[in-house]
């Protein structure tokens, strides 16, 4: 029965999309076709980034599914809203197309990923209008969690987090008087052993995933919009503090049982 209801809900939402496309006419089909042509290659790049062995976006395939679920949970509200196409959506689509062209000419792929999400916003506005688009802003914004950050940005964040969590963990150890010395992401013990906090231990992967999870919890909560925003923002420090505690525990393990045990080698 539940499966039947789900199929019915999906069918109703698809009918809404089809009706909106029919109202917009051939232009809607042309713009959807343009999106497919422009973003077929970037979509493949995003897919590969999701399944990279050392990637930060293994949660990526779940994001569109969760966004779709968010839309389904709002179907009653959406059904009451009028479909009034807003031509400003076409402006967004044109700007996105120009941005895509500029990124191609400059041989820069990462901007195309984000442009793709804004292209979807333009389509929503053009097909459904302002009121429905406003109601869909949260599921739309959630799609950004599926878009991989450029490797250069990942490297910068990873380095900064690695240095920060190392310093914080050593600071927690200082009152114990173990005479541990920190240099960057290296932790030196009086015994001569060295514990290295590498990229995996920086915590960026868990930070990105917990931000996405925090967005879901905020969406499900009964808080007002401000409370939801605060709950979402708090997921970042929670992820960082959790990682600091993890590094602290590794420092303690390395002190008593050696760095090989702490690093699992």
- For the ranges 68-72, 90-94, 137-141, the lowest mean pLDDT is seen at 68-72
Q: Are 232 and 150 in contact (CB under 8 A)?
A: no
My answer on whether 28 and 110 are in the same domain is yes
% of the chain surpassing 90 pLDDT: 34
Q: What pLDDT score was predicted for residue 1?
A: 43
Domain termination residue (choose one: 93, 116, 148)? 148
The mean pLDDT of the chain is 85
Secondary structure letter of residue 175 according to DSSP = G
Give the residue among 50, 45, 56, 67 at the shortest CA–CA distance from 120.
Answer: 67
What's the domain count of the chain? 2
Q: Let me know whether 68 and 197 are in one domain.
A: no
Q: Which token pair is 114?
A: 């984000």
Residue 69 sits in the same domain as residue 138? yes
Q: What is the pLDDT of residue 110?
A: 84
Question: Running DSSP on this structure, what letter comes out for residue 221?
Answer: S
Say how far residue 54 (Cα) sits from the centre of its chain.
Answer: 16
Distance between CA atoms of residues 250 and 167, nearest Å = 13
Final residue of a structural domain among 132, 148, 164: 148
Please give the structure tokens belonging to residue 66: 């969760």
Same domain, 139 and 10: yes
Whether 140 and 21 share a structural domain: yes
Residue 195: per-residue pLDDT: 87
Q: Among 127, 148, 169, give the residue marking a domain's end.
A: 148
Name which of 16, 38, 23 is nearest 126 in CA terms. 23
Higher pLDDT, 27 or 126: 126
Regarding whether 115 and 7 lie in a shared domain, the answer is: yes
Backbone angles phi, psi at 187, to 5 degrees: -120, 120
**Same domain, residue pair 124 and 222:** no
In total, the chain counts a number of residues equal to 265
Whether residue 7 is found in the same domain as residue 123: yes
pLDDT band at 21 (very low <50, low <70, confident <90, very high): low
Beta strands in 117-248 (DSSP E): 181-183, 186-188, 194-196
b/e 225-243 (16+ beta carbons within 10 angstroms → b): eeebeebbeebeeebbeeb
Looking at residue 186, the DSSP 8-state letter turns out to be E
Q: With 80 as the cut, is the pLDDT of residue 233 above it? A: yes
* Claim to verify: residue 244 and residue 161 sit in the same structural domain: yes
* pLDDT above 70 (res 134): yes
Binned at pLDDT 50, 70 and 90, residue 151 comes out as confident
End-to-end CA, the chain? 51
Whether 173 and 127 share a structural domain: no
Same-domain check for residues 59 and 78: yes
Please give the residue range of the domain that contains residue 192: 153-263
- φ/ψ region of 179 (left if φ > 0, alpha if ψ in -120 to 50, else beta) reads left
* Pair (57, 159) in one structural domain: no
Would you say residue 202 has pLDDT above 50?
A: yes
Least confident residue range of 1-10, 31-40, 135-144, 223-232: 1-10
> How confident is the model over 47-61, as a mean pLDDT?
86
- The whole-angstrom separation of Cα 237 and Cα 103 is 34
């Amino acid at each position: 029965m539940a499966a039947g209801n789900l199929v019915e809900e999906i069918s109703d939402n698809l009918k809404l999309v089809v009706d909106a496309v029919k109202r917009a006419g051939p232009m809607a089909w042309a713009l959807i076709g343009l999106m497919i042509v422009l973003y077929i290659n970037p979509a493949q790049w995003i897919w590969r980034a999701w399944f990279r062995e050392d990637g930060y976006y293994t949660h990526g395939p779940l994001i569109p599914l969760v966004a779709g679920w968010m839309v389904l949970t709002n179907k009653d509200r959406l059904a009451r809203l009028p479909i009034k196409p807003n031509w400003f959506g076409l402006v967004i689509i044109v700007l996105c197309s120009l941005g895509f062209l500029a990124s191609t000419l400059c041989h820069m792929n990462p901007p195309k990923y984000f442009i793709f999400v804004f292209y979807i916003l333009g389509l929503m506005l053009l097909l459904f209008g302002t009121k429905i688009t406003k109601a869909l802003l949260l599921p739309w914004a959630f799609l950004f969690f599926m878009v991989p950050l450029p490797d250069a940005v990942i490297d910068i964040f990873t380095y900064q987090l690695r240095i920060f969590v190392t310093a914080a963990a050593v600071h927690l150890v200082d009152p114990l008087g173990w005479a541990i010395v920190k240099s960057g992401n290296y932790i030196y013990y009086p015994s001569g052993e060295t514990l290295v906090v590498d990229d995996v231990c920086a915590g960026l992967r868990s930070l990105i995933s917990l931000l996405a999870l925090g967005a879901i919890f905020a969406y499900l909560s009964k808080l007002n919009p401000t409370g939801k925003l605060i709950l979402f923002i708090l997921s970042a420090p929670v992820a960082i503090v959790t990682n600091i505690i993890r590094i602290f525990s590794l420092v303690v393990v390395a002190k008593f049982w050696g760095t090989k045990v702490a690093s699992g080698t």
